[in-house]
Amino acid sequence: VDIDLLRRVSVPYLRSREAVPVFSDGKTATVVTPDPGRPDLQREFSASLRMPVELAVGPRDAILQTIADYEQFHRASRKEVSAGD
């Protein structure tokens, strides 16, 4: 999972869409979702990430777990920065 891509989208948004951007080659991003037939997701993520998006299918439970793990990582990183100030 590309953390730089995740940072461009809020955790509540990821959770509400049940989708995670996982990879970018610098020209196109890949977003994993349990329902890759949703053109709205492709448009929304393309606007958020400022690049074309390809949708890929993935298990809902794994996507939600990835979002939860990222949220924990993000919180831990914030605490480290705050403690270092």
pLDDT one-digit tens code per residue, 14-56: 999 999 999 999 999 999 999 999 989 999 999 999 999 999 9
Residue written as tokens 């794994």?
A: 62
DSSP result, 12-73: HHHHHHT-EEEEE-SS-EEEEES-TT-HHHHHHHHHHHTS-EEEEE--HHHHHHHHHHHHHH
pLDDT tens, 58-76?
Answer: 999 999 999 999 999 877 7
pTM for the whole structure: 0.84
